[in-house]
Amino acid sequence: MTLTSDVVVVGNAGVDTNVYLRTPEINFSVEANFTENIDSVGQAGGFASRLYSHLGDKVAYLGFLGEDPAGDLVRVVFQKEGIDIPCRWCDPAGTARSVNLVYPNGNRKNFYDGKSHMDQEIDPVD
């Protein structure tokens, strides 16, 4: 494989769900708390790929994605932003996800689900 990119990002890309809390504390005495929830392509590999692309670099991303709606979202956003995915490595457990509780003061608490990409091995010939 020959890459003709300015930047090659190797790392994890996935979908982050940011849960923006309206109050400094979660009220566990009620069934529902109202929040603003936003899904976006993120994680280190996703953010780096998108940043370099927005800076005008030709970007290739190397990493695992699942064959699931989260992986589809990453692929659609990458395609829209001109980010090449030359290798189609699949994580059979799905695309990595995270849920980030974002407090009004900007503090965050992250819950990361890396799926099985930490245990995946790639064929060096791919």
Q: Which residue has the tokens 């780096």?
A: 48
- What residue ranges do the domains of the chain occupy? 16-22+34-114
Single out the residue of 83, 87, 86 nearest to residue 58, CA to CA. Answer: 83
The whole-number pLDDT of residue 118 equals 66
Which tens digits make up the pLDDT trace of 76-94? 999 999 999 988 788 889 9
How many other CB atoms are there within 10 angstroms of residue 28's CB atom? Answer: 7
- CATH match of 16-22+34-114 with 3.30.60.50: no
First to last CA, the chain: 8
Which tens digits make up the pLDDT trace of 38-78? 999 999 999 999 999 999 999 999 999 999 999 999 999 99
> What whole-number distance in Å separates Cα of residue 59 and Cα of residue 49?
6
Parallel, antiparallel or unpaired: strands 35-42 and 59-62: unpaired
The phi and psi torsions of 93 (rounded to 5 degrees) equal -85, -5
